[in-house]
Amino acid sequence: MKLFEYEAKNILAKYGIPTPKGGLATSSAQAREVASQIKPPFVVKAQVLVAGRGKAGGILFADTIERVEKVANKLLNMQIKGITVKSVWVEEQIQIKRELYFGITTDRFHQSYVAIASSVGGMEIEEVAQQSPEKVIKFPINPQQGFRSFHARQIARKMGYAGAQLSEIGRIFETLYKIGMDYDAELIEMNPLVETVDGKFVAADARIIIDDNALFRHQEYKKRLLEGESELTPEEIEAIKNDLAYVKLDGNIGVIGNGAGLVMATLDTIQYYGGKPADFLDVGGGAPAEKIATALKIVLSDPKVKTLFINILGGITRCDEVAKGILEAKAKVGVTKPMVIRLVGTNEEEGKRILKDAGIHVLESMEEAAQKAVEISKQGGE
């Protein structure tokens, strides 16, 4: 789950990392009020959960309180990459000497966190790595040792700092790591981390992405996620509410399976036979009929879906429960699109009987079922 910039900055400030003074506003009048409590010049930033907002015109500058009100009104009446701006963050403009980058993210290959630093900030770290790889410092973090103060100072030294500045920026690095661990962050970064003209360091921008699997430990953010204040689609939010793993894709074959590995294999098989999956939906193990019905409803809410491919390998999940869920969904949702069903495993014969009695054909081979789904999708779902 992505946090807004103002949320990330408030967390950093709580832990003692310097951030510019500022406040959140949802109207131009509120923006004026925030500006009246801090020193000019000002920066007004659109609060949206997308990258590249600066290039899209989502960050504006103002010298006076009156100008803050005007630019805030402009931002609050625009969309950035299709997302409506609902709030802005008004803060003091920093006198910048140098822009830096520091972040911590997961290295899936080494199964650990990695700290990434650069003496060039203010742009995507991927661009820096491509254009000036020698300016990017990567520091693998041993999960048993963690990220210690001497690690932080080592990175700061490589960035060219010494003395009091080395100690100060090292403390900021170490603190950011602690925040990342406390908030179960997949990514936490300061970009840019600014060295000011008086030699201090300030996090001019901050980004935190919390691991969705850890949201039960951060209920305030989970509540906001479920209320729709996130980058997720309505279908993805509905899936989370019903404990379903769902990711929308850009194809036209709706996919439902039980188990992440099986669903991934289903997507691969569809693509192998020339089709395009419309989604990834895993109902998990032991899914009752109601859950299967909800899964079908979510997948069918995508108007691009031409046909459904339901692939069930019954272990904990009972095939007869899946069959009941399919019929329940047909009755409630009014399923009119063709379904290709592969049903194998626990209570398989009973599941097939239930579907057969309802006039629904069931296949045993995933390859055969995938080919059938692709064939139907190419015929326009008829």
Active-site residues, by number, are: 101, 189
Q: Distance between CA 170 and CA 172 in Å, rounded?
A: 5
Q: Specify whether the CB–CB gap between 344 and 307 falls below 8 A.
A: no
Count CA atoms within 13 Å of residue 187 on its CB side.
12
Instruction: Give the closest residue to 177 by CA, choosing from 194, 189, 191.
Output: 189
* Chain centre to alpha carbon of residue 23: 25
User: Looking at the DSSP assignment, which residues form a beta bridge with residue 42?
Assistant: 62, 92
Q: Specify whether the CB–CB gap between 91 and 21 falls below 8 A.
A: yes
Q: Distance between CA 346 and CA 361 in Å, rounded?
A: 18
Cβ within 8 Å of residue 353, ≥6 positions away: none
**For tokens 């990567």, what's the residue?**
138
Other beta carbons within 10 angstroms of residue 148's beta carbon come to 13
Q: Distance between CA 246 and CA 357 in Å, rounded?
A: 30
* Burial (Cβ within 10 Å: 0-12, 13-18, ≥19) of residue 227: exposed
Helix 289-300 vs helix 319-333: crossing angle, to nearest 10: 50
Segments in 121-162 forming alpha helices (H): 125-131, 149-158
Helix 289-300 vs helix 234-241: crossing angle, to nearest 10: 170
Q: Specify whether the CB–CB gap between 325 and 297 falls below 8 A.
A: no
